[in-house]
Amino acid sequence: MSPEPFDPAAGNTSATGGEPQAVHGSFALQADFSAPSARVFRAFAEASLRNRWFRLPGSSKTARHELDFRVGGGETASNVFVSGDVEEFLECRSRFIDILPDRRIVYVYEAHVDGLRRWVSLVTVELTARDGGARLDWTEQYSYLVLTGDGTQDTAHLRGGTRLLLNGLSTVVDPERYQGLLAKRPTDLAPEPGPLTVTP
């Protein structure tokens, strides 16, 4: 999912034309896996696995990623996104608040476009054993600091980007199940994994 070019002049302002006002909201998504919770958790915790599904839009040649998976540690990811003659520098900065192995991950992140902080989110990822596999519950509480127009497009992109992110996670955690589905419906199920942090 590609981000729209950001126009500072079209950003969110107060009713009186003063300082921008933050816009708050939340959403929740679920994903089911045939793999156990421990395998899903490892896809978050191990950089070699996380790099396979967590990425910002843009060329792999310009992508950067660092992961320090521990309470108090963090993650940084960046890339250069090019659409036509528009070039944007995307960056995500995270900090882990709570980690319960195989059960829960809580972190906060900032999403930046061309050095401007667009929004900040608190994310809770919960894993529960279910029917021989695992269920993932993703709850995100966001605060948009700079909006495009009234913000409707921003929040829709954030939710949609997160769903694509979970699709990408599924291809890593459940490769056998995914390949079986892909063989039946190759055009419908080809993923476009992308992080929830990428699409302002």
Report how far apart, in Å, the C-alpha atoms of 198 and of each of 39, 75, 91, 93 are. Answer: 25, 14, 8, 12
Is it the case that residue 102 has pLDDT exceeding 80? Answer: yes
Residues 167, 156: contact at Cβ < 8 Å?
no
Residue 31 identity: A
Assess contact for 54 and 77: CB atoms under 8 A: yes
- According to DSSP, the residues that pair with 12 across neighbouring strands are none
Taking 80 as the threshold, does the pLDDT of residue 1 lie above it?
A: no
Position 149 scores a pLDDT of 80
In this predicted structure, the answer to whether residue 112 has a pLDDT above a threshold of 50 is yes
In tens, the pLDDT along 127-168 reads: 999 988 999 999 999 999 998 887 888 889 899 999 999 999
> Quick one: DSSP state of residue 9?
G
Task: Work out the percent of the chain whose per-residue pLDDT is above 70.
Answer: 78
- For residues 192 and 62, give the distance between their C-alpha atoms in angstroms, rounded to a whole number: 18
pLDDT bracket for residue 85 (50, 70, 90): confident
Statement: residue 197 has pLDDT above 80: no
Please provide the average confidence, as pLDDT, over all residues in the chain: 82
What is the pTM (predicted TM-score) of this model? 0.77
Q: How far apart are CA 181 and CA 58, in angstroms?
A: 27
Q: Is the dihedral of CA 123, 72, 200, 152 positive or negative?
A: positive
| Poorest-pLDDT segment among 46-50, 52-56, 113-117 | 52-56
pLDDT at 191 > cutoff 70? no
Q: What are phi and psi of 117, to 5 degrees?
A: -70, 115
Q: What pLDDT band is residue 61 in, cutting at 50, 70 and 90?
A: confident
**Which stretch of 53-67, 79-93, 185-199 has the lowest confidence by average pLDDT?**
185-199
**pLDDT at residue 19 in the model:** 63
pLDDT per position as a tens digit, 20-47: 688 899 999 999 999 999 999 999 999 9
More confident residue, 17 or 158: 158
Number of H helices, E strands in the chain: 5, 7
**Exposure on the CB side of residue 48, measured as CA atoms within 13 A:** 0
**pLDDT confidence bin for 179, thresholds 50/70/90:** low
